[in-house]
């Protein structure tokens, strides 16, 4: 099982490195499905052999901590990716690393400052303080929403003419 898991994980890693993001020609013609299928097979194999080398690696501290931050990362990554300017010196992999680092930092802070206190019913999350905190969060969310640039019509569309001919 470990060999198959390593091959699947290696194949997924190679696909992530060589794919040009949403501009990849095959992404929406089966590429995303193949990626999802490979991930599903990997999860099934890891669940079937949690005591193997691959299962122990997947269950180690770093993946578990990232799993604990996954919801916060989900909330923060897109606004950061939209708001982080693309400069000449900050492009490609450097931009991606900075965006991922900022997303991770924001996720750690929001989990510690907001999610965990709400989950544990801290004093500031209840009563009038809770309503004030909610109002502050809504205001901050509206400010971030207003700061996100509006997409231009036609932006983000995939040029399918490269696939022809």
Model-level pTM greater than 0.85? Answer: no
Q: Residue 15: pLDDT band by 50, 70, 90 thresholds? A: confident
Give the residue extent of every domain in the chain: 1-59, 62-147
Which comes out higher in pLDDT, residue 34 or 133? 34
pLDDT at 116: 83
Q: To 5 degrees, how large is the angle CA 54–CA 42–CA 62?
A: 50
């Amino acid at each position: 099982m470990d060999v198959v898991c390593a091959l699947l994980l290696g194949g997924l890693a190679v696909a992530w490195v060589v794919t040009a993001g949403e501009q990849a020609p095959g992404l929406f013609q089966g590429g995303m499905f193949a990626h999802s299928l490979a991930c599903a097979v990997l999860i099934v194999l890891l669940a079937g052999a949690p005591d193997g080398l691959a299962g122990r690696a997947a269950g180690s501290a770093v993946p578990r901590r990232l799993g604990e931050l996954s919801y916060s990362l989900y909330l923060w990554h897109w606004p950061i990716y939209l708001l982080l300017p693309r400069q000449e010196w900050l492009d490609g992999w450097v931009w991606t690393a900075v965006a991922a680092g900022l997303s991770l930092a924001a996720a750690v802070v929001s989990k510690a400052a907001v999610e965990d206190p709400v989950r544990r019913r801290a004093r500031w999350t209840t009563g009038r303080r809770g309503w004030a905190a909610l109002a502050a969060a809504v205001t901050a969310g509206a400010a971030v929403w207003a700061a996100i640039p509006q997409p231009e019509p036609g932006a983000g569309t995939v040029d399918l003419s490269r696939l022809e001919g």
